[in-house]
Amino acid sequence: MLKKVLIANRGEIAVRIIRACAEMGIRSMAIYTEPDRYALHVKRADEAYSLGEDPLAGYLDPLRIVNLALETGCDAIHPGYGFLSENPEFARLCEQNNLVFVGPSSDVIHKMGDKTQARDSMRAAGVPITPGSDGNLSGIEEALTLAEQIGYPVMVKATSGGGGRGIRRCDTAEELTQQYPRVISEATKAFGSAEVFMEKCIVDPKHIEVQILADSHGNVVHLYERDCSIQRRNQKLIEIAPSPQLTPEQRLYIGGLAVKAAAAVNYENAGTVEFLLTGNEVYFMEMNTRVQVEHTITEQITGVDIVREQLRIASGLTLSYRQEDIAYRGYALQFRINAEDPKNDFLPSFGRISHYYAPGGPGVRVDTAIYTGYEIPPYYDSMCLKLVVWALTWEEVVARGERALDDMRLHGVKTTASYYRQILKHPDFQQPNFNTSFVPNHPELLNYSDKRHPSEIALALAAAIAAHAGW
């Protein structure tokens, strides 16, 4: 079993990993830059080391992190998600220095991070992929010719992309001519690579992803699927497990495809295989070679502690479960409560949290690193917390989601919570009958009232008085 793990991340995912380490008797080590000096992950870890003043450079410096792990006696590094979690050079550096990287091998990260290689691997394994280019595009002429062959609309994507960046939909040859250089520019700036490829655009699909676990002994299982169709500009807002829109036959088929995909590339540790579903047609989209933000809802419906399994797998142990041992019960929703103003094009709303009250009650879970008085820095992702609710039926989980969102009090910054309540009230969501176009097709949901509840006004006044009095 691992003895000491450096957590190469921050915020709620770092806190989540620290908790798993504590339960397993593994010593945890946090790293932080100056804006995170008073962050919760720094307070919770067994040890914490500063990476200096720059808010980002330290978190993105593979050599410095690996050297720090070696100097402090760590035997493993958990990358969380974001930052260096899908950087094959970081994983390779760990391998070269006999540090366990809590994730797949550097070769697998490279292969699945390169979208054209990932498509080739899935094609060879018999996993259906969307029609598109066989490799990277050589230029706009090839792009225009291919688009005519497969038919508009098409998607031009950065080969090394992720997180919704480096993607453009093109409905005509004129749009493709305009957007092609923009994708290359964004890809170069965001990922350091100008390589792009093309796929047929699947119009208004459902976004379905499957959580998998694989150990070093050849065992691969899936933990059923999540529905991530409620998204804005390719960024997920509300996630659901399992999908209330799948038939049992579709669920069995897509789960089997995910296991086949993982086995085909000799995958190890936790990962997610993402698909697009239109009618009964399923297409592989990508594989995320890390723990997902939304792993929480899979844990809620299956009872499997995914981060614990990650650490067990990294220790060389076999999976705790066989496929026949894994069942799901009920439904779970995750709301990404972001410090953003939905009424102002979701502009980030960073600042000091003057008061925070976490929702509770049956079937409610909150993963966060914020607290009353915490200053949300402007350098990182705008997510404040992940609110997760579980219930036995779809109707009950929607009602519980509304109640939990209403329970929560978060003052000092604007958040997306009120907007999510509007989504839950919409008939298409309650049906359930929605796809990736739900958010753009319903701009009227942004017309909610900003009028504050009397209890919120009282809390805001109390916070202001306390701040003035220096309490």
DSSP string, 8-23: ---HHHHHHHHHHHHH
Cα 83 to the center of its chain, rounded Å: 12
Distance CA 66, CA 47 (A): 16
Verify whether residue 290 is a known catalytic residue. yes
- The amino acid present at 284, given as its one-letter code, is F
Q: How far is CA 168 from CA 191, 233, 284, in A?
A: 16, 10, 18
Pair type for strands 76-78 and 100-101 = parallel
Q: How far is CA 288 from CA 21, 79, 128, 267, in A?
A: 23, 13, 17, 11
Cα 422 to the center of its chain, rounded Å: 23
Spatial strand order in the sheet of 167-170:
167-170, 154-158, 196-200
Burial-class residue 121 by CB neighbours within 10 Å (0-12, 13-18, 19+): buried
3-state helix, strand, coil split of the chain in percent (to 5) is: 40, 25, 35
Bridge partners (DSSP) listed for residue 386: 336, 367
Residue 122 structure tokens: 């899935």
Residue 248 structure tokens: 């049992």
Task: Assign 3-class secondary structure to 80-121.
Answer: CCCCCCCCHHHHHHHHHCCCEECCCCHHHHHHHHCHHHHHHH
Contacts of 388 (CB under 8 A, 6+ apart): 296, 297, 300, 332, 333, 334, 335, 364, 365, 366, 367
* Angle, helices 88-96/62-71, rounded to nearest 10 degrees: 30
Catalytic residue selected from 27, 290, 336, 365: 290
Cα 162 to the center of its chain, rounded Å: 10
Contacts of 35 (CB under 8 A, 6+ apart): 55, 377, 379
Task: Assign 3-class secondary structure to 152-209.
Answer: CCEEEEECCCCCCCCEEEECCHHHHHHHHHHHHHHHHHHHCCCCEEEEECCCCCEEEE
* Catalytic (active-site) positions: 290
